[in-house]
Structure 1
Amino acid sequence: MTLTQATEFTIDNIIKSYGNYIGKFNELTRLAPGFFAHRNWNAMQENHKKRLRIYKDFVKSSSLTLQENLGEKITDEEFWKGVKIQYSNSISERKDKELAETFFNSVIRKTFPNLAIDENLMYVHEGYNSCDIHPGENLFHTYLSAWGLQKIIRKIIADFDFGVPYMNKEEDIQYLVKAVREVILTRYEPTKDTVTQILKKVFFRNKAAYLIGRTKVGGKWMPFIIPFLNGPKGVFVDTMIFDPKIMAHMFSFSRSYFMVEVEIPSQMVSFLNAVISHKQIHELYNAIGFNKHGKTEFYRDFLNHLNQSKDEFIVAEGILGMVMTVFTLPSYNIVFKLIKDHFEPPKNMTRQEVREKYKLVSLHDRVGRMADTHEFENFHFPLERVDPKLIQELKNTTNSLLVINDNNLVIKHLYTERRMIPLNIYLENCSYEDAVQAVEEYGNSILQLAQANIFPGDMMTKNFGVTRQKRVIFYDYDEIEFLTDMNFRWKPKAETFEQIYASSPWYDIAKNDVFPEDFKRFMIGRTDVKQHFWDFHHLLFNPDYWIDIQNKIRSGELLHAFPYPKTIRFRPDEEI
């Protein structure tokens, strides 16, 4: 194969593979409205997992084909430079070219052995800001203030047909009219310039469908989200959300990705960036399902931050982990997690088993209670920015993952995750009022994970973090199990003198046996809120409660985790 032939073959292969990937991605995404209409929640979940898996499948297939046909050119840097130049020309007219660039990066990293990040061969600094932001006329519906509020709301409801009868359409309309009057019209007077825009594409996740829009009033845009649910009696509007903190949480790193049809990703992200406050570009790409490109955008953001900061990477605060070594850059809100070479007892798992746990989380519904991660290989850090104490800690615990040269610390494998305040540290320093909220959140986190069929395993407070919004999130995954695999038991009552004073349990305990009555011994150490926690979350210590959740999951019931307070629902008691 000549150089020209090899170049054309490589470009055709990657473009075709990317086209097949994005086609399959869109095909799976388009199934979401049907699952919502038919209340097929388990199929919705499985479809979400299937969509997450396909990226690696198409990258692997493309890479294997190239490895079988390119011979020595696989490691020829000049060859790949030429391929990148011509590939750029080939995708220049695509409206999703930033995703095509990321796909190219994935293929070359998979094909070229031990390739370091090289901007001559890969797309390192290109991306979102270099993409055309196409006009948005076809992106959203527009509603003019001259129509009047009643007509606008009725038109919105008419524009979004879920293919299912409404439970009570007229009541929904009046709920929305009342919400707009109470939140917007009490503060602003509409003018002839007042206009409302709502994205035409609906965002689906779990049992809900969401409309995302904004109203220009008072000289600024006011965003909102309208959740719809499909219950046994039909579709209904559940609430209308104006609070930017709640909206940001709905797009949180602790939530699963949305199913939403996207024709031009940069255009969608641009609209969301103007609506969902405090969200980074990479978080928004994640939110709409393009998590691999989100990873690319995160890395670009990381490089930009490195260039604009001077602090050193240090060991992260908190109790040192038995399975992971964790470090951070104080000026950056991310932690870097490495699996240790050896685990201290009682940990008896392998490194591969830990990686499988993280993979499980990446595919599972995180219900707002587990942190999303990005997995990296051969991640480079400037050696001059790494604290010597951190270097020593890494050598002591993860030496097999390190490559150190004159200028760089290269880590062969790591995870990145949003930095939070460890709950144990937070409880040591916060006020009584904040501690009460935190321990309530801690219990809520455990119970909501249980409803998503996740048992955290090690539930000590050091394995949970507190976000800026004071939500409690689980982030230590090495001992998680499916809840349905656990055996919840009441502790047998001691009846003899020997049983009462036995130094170790006198009854048999199998591997997956769990005794919720024992949770009280280790869950909360802060004395002034301990009793409140026990009272508020008394069900945590009742095996029958856990067994009831198991039975619901085994019967096929999907327990919906509301990403907003239930107190703001229009009909708080309405079942779905």
Structure 2
Amino acid sequence: MYHSLLDKTSKILIEGFENYFRNFKELTSYTPRHFREKDWRAMKENHRKRLMLYKDQVFTTKSILYDLLKEKVADYDFWKKAKLAYILLSKERKDKELAETFFNSVIRKLYPDLAINEELMFVHEGFNSCEIYPNDNLYFTYPANWGLQKIIRSIIADFDFEAPYLNKEADIQFLVKAIREVILSRYTTTDETVTQVLKSVFYRNKAAYLIGRTYVGGKWMPFIIPFLNGPNGVYVDTLIFDPKIMAHLFSFTRSYFMVDVEIPSQMVAFLNSVITHKQVHELYNAIGFNKHGKTEFYRDFLNHLDHSEDQFVLAEGIKGMVMTVFTLPSYNIVFKMIKDYFDPPKTMTRQEVRNKYKMVGQHDRVGRMADTHEFEEFHLPLDRIHPNLMQELRSTVNSHLEIRNNELIIKHLYTERKMIPLNMYLEQCSLEEAKSAVEEYGDAILQLAKANIFPGDMMTKNFGVTRQKRIVFYDYDEIEFLTDMNFRWKPKPETFEQIYAFEPWYEIRPNDVFPEDFKKFMIGRQDVKSHFIEYHQNLFNPDYWTSIQNRIKNGEWIHALPYPNKIRFRPEEEV
């Protein structure tokens, strides 16, 4: 009976994972049709459904096991054996690292108050322990002796989107010209020169991306080819060689790609050789396996803890009214906790804040909102907590804390990429850097607006500066859908009482916004304030905000390109 229960448990777990992965692949498989038919509404809905798959499958599997196991749910010895049984079922799988993460997710939901436990869970396994399987189906190969024209024509032929082209011959010549200018002007091809392009197309929003690499000059030269499907057909938009732009395409501020993945570790290994600035957990996130990305991040964090000695401290910047934020100075992450009580004028509940973070996780982040990972029962070594931080935690988030066995146990937190708060950056940067930053700041707000996001609190302290000097929004407790807001011109006072009134004399409803007032608080640095106001005049015009609202309400999906307009092959009016 005992062994029968073990067998049933391990089989239910592996079947739960298989069901998740099968549905993941099925939803992903619809994407080429959506791109071909320019069905952007279906594309967005399909992406949202795929994001919800994992949590739904974990819940279903947990419920089945809870009914089966009853009092065995909290049997430590049983779960040790269940893990061994699961290893036997999953050890030959080519996606076993994902299967292990699924096991971890289910047991964390089932077993009461379970912390990270190496005996019961897969803690240190993962990507590096997975064989990178040989697979001829991973990429197309194009030898240099074919000649550049034939290689480019073959690539275009191999990726037929089954849709009319704007001008295929022009696309071919654009690509040939770009390669001659960037690669062949610097390197000479040899017998070893070869080009490889992943067979899987990376879809996101309204774009389709080919990802490849060319071995030339004794090293791999990566490249990305974006395709768009415009009013007059499919076209190649540009050819990307710049590693910074490629890294941005895979940024933590971008939504996950819809890409067909047969062997996840193999796909990540290829990407790791191309997008060299990204860590393994970021690449798993990028191809849609964000739960395993979270697992790989946690493993990286544990490894860093073992090889560092600094203490966790409060993060730099102005303290938030809703979140307590701390960091480990040697690690590029901040840890965010929802406070027990919010400072006035904040009136929301903790659950409302969690809902805002969930909203961001399911929305197109357009390169302007930071991705987060949510953790429960997060353990930190007590001796690594600086006394000043402990004092702050006790005074702001005490209900989330527990101390046990020389560990600080945090019941709930978010992790997010560390950035320099924009207000701090503006205090120390040069005038030219400040001008560039405030331009980016306004661009970020307007790009979020076009993605139907109104940030709410647009103070510079709520935006961060990345290593590439990109401005990113990271404070989500007041975000709303843009279409829910009411943008108004301020009424003009007509009487003496109205002119000298201490408070607004006109009615203000909860979602009313007066963009004219943005000028008062958006930029505090005086030597760039006028430049900001002149550069972003539309920000202060209610009619402009309303025009974006109307476009969204009319069903338009406003696409934000993740690369500069200046590198595009054609001007917008020609496509």
What is the TM-score with the length of structure 2 in the denominator? 0.99
The answer to whether 1:150 aligns with 2:121 is no
Question: 1:148-184, CA deviations, whole angstroms, 9 ceiling, x for partnerless residues?
Answer: 1001000000000101011100000000000000000
1:27 aligns with 2:40: no
Taking the aligned partners of 2:78 and 2:112, their CA distance within structure 1 comes to 15
Q: Alpha-carbon deviation of 1:563?
A: 0.4
The answer to whether 1:88 aligns with 2:87 is yes
Instruction: Report the equivalent of 1:244.
Output: 243
Measure the CA separation in 2 of the matches of 1:553 and 1:205.
18
Per-residue Cα deviation, 1:364-385 (whole angstroms, up to 9, x for no partner): 0000000000000000000000
Residue 522 of structure 2 aligns with an amino acid whose one-letter code is M
Q: What is the CA–CA distance in structure 2 between the aligned matches of 1:431 and 1:575, rounded to whole Å?
A: 38
Which amino acid in 1 is paired with 2:251?
S
Amino acid in the other structure paired with 2:385: V
Q: Write out per-residue CA displacement over residues 499-523 of structure 1, whole angstroms, 9 at most, x where no aligned residue.
A: 1111110100000000000000000
Q: CA deviation at 1:574?
A: 4.2
Q: 1:236 is matched by which residue type in structure 2?
A: Y
Establish whether residue 564 from structure 1 lines up as the match of residue 558 from structure 2.
Answer: no
Paired-residue identity, %? 71
Give the number of equivalent residue pairs. 575
**What are the residue-to-residue correspondences of 1:278-293 with 2, within 5 Å?**
278-293=277-292
Q: Structure 1 stretches (4+) deviating beyond 2 angstroms? A: none
**Does 2:148 align with 1:159?**
no
Q: For 2:422 and 2:147, how far apart are their aligned partners in 1?
A: 49
Structure 2's unaligned 5+ residue stretches are none
Contact kept, 8 Å, 1:224 with 1:242, in 2: the verdict is yes
Aligned to 1:415: 414
1:128-147 mapped onto 2 (5 Å cutoff): 128-147=127-146
Check if 1:522 corresponds to 2:528.
no
Q: Whole-Å Cα distance in 2 between the matches of residues 224 and 108 of structure 1?
A: 41
Deviations 1:428-458 (A, max 9, x none): 0011111011000000000000000000000
Name the SS of the counterpart of 2:497 in structure 1: helix
- Structure-1 separation of matches of 2:305 and 2:106: 26
For residues 403 and 443 of structure 2, what CA distance do their matches in structure 1 show? 43
Amino acid at match of 2:43: M
1:277 CA drift (Å): 1.8
After TM superposition, the structure 1 = structure 2 runs for residues 215-226 of structure 1, keeping only pairs within 5 Å, are 215-226=214-225
**2:530 is matched with which residue?**
531
Q: What is the rounded CA distance, in whole Å, between the counterparts of 1:565 and 1:21 in structure 2?
A: 37
Q: 2:182, 2:9 → 1: CA distance?
A: 56
Matches within 5 A, 1:465-484: 465-484=464-483
CA displacement, residues 96-122 of structure 1 (integer Å, 9 cap, x when unaligned): 000000000000001111101101000
**One-letter identity of the residue aligned with 2:505:** W
Distance 2:264 2:404 in 1: 39
**What secondary structure, in the 3-state scheme, does the structure 2 residue paired with 1:171 have?**
helix
Given that 1:28 and 1:47 are in contact with CA atoms closer than 8 Å, whether structure 2 keeps it comes out as yes
Give the Cα–Cα distance (whole angstroms) in 1 for the partners of residues 433 and 499 of structure 2. Answer: 39
1:116 corresponds to: 115
In the alignment, is the contact (CA less than 8 A) between 1:145 and 1:192 conserved in 2? yes
Q: Which residue of 2 aligns with 1:493?
A: 492
Match of 1:552 in 2: 551
Provide the rounded CA distance (Å) in 2 between the counterparts of 1:263 and 1:225: 21
Q: Residue deviations 1:505-554, cap 9 Å, x none?
A: 01000000000000000000001100000000000000000000000000
Shift of 1:143: 0.4
User: Does residue 402 of structure 1 match 2:401?
Assistant: yes
Distance in 1 separating the partners of 2:572 and 2:21: 40
Contact 1:427 1:435 in 2 (8 A): yes
Letter matched to residue 508 of structure 1: E
Contact 1:285 1:294 (8 Å CA) reproduced: yes
Aligned match of 2:180: 181
d(CA) in 2 for partners of 1:498, 1:43: 54
**How far apart, in 2, do the equivalents of 1:224 and 1:308 lie?**
35
Amino acid aligned to 2:191: K
- In the TM superposition, what is the alpha-carbon distance from 1:42 to its structure 2 partner? 1.2
Mapped to 2, the partners of 1:416 and 1:264 lie a distance apart of: 27
Letter in 1 for 2:489: W
Secondary structure at the counterpart of residue 11 of structure 2:
helix
Counterpart of 1:15 in structure 2 is 14
Between the aligned partners of 2:332 and 2:490, the Cα distance in structure 1 is: 43
SS at match of 2:572: coil
- The CA deviation string for residues 163-207 of structure 1, in whole angstroms up to 9 with x for no partner, is 101110000000000000000011001111110000000000000
Q: Secondary structure at the match of 2:397?
A: helix
Paired residue for 1:464?
Answer: 463
- 2:30, 2:436 → 1: CA distance? 39
Equivalent residue letter for 1:200: K
CA distance in 2 between partners of 1:119 and 1:101 (Å): 12
Mapped to 2, the partners of 1:534 and 1:572 lie a distance apart of 27
Q: For structure 1, which segment, 217-226 or 135-144, has the greater mean C-alpha deviation from structure 2 after superposition?
A: 135-144
Deviation at 1:575, TM superposition (A): 7.1
1:369–1:474 CA contact under 8 A, matched in 2: yes
Q: Does 1:298 align with 2:303?
A: no
**Equivalent residue number for residue 346 of structure 2:** 347
RMSD of aligned C-alpha atoms? 0.7
Question: Per-residue displacement from partner, 1:371-422 (whole Å, max 9, x unpaired)?
Answer: 0000000000000001011011001000000001241000000000000000
Contact 1:231 1:575 survives alignment (8 Å): no
In 1, the alpha carbon distance for the partners of 2:128 and 2:447 equals 38
Q: Secondary structure at the match of 1:529?
A: helix
Query: Which residue in the other structure is 1:454 paired with?
Result: 453
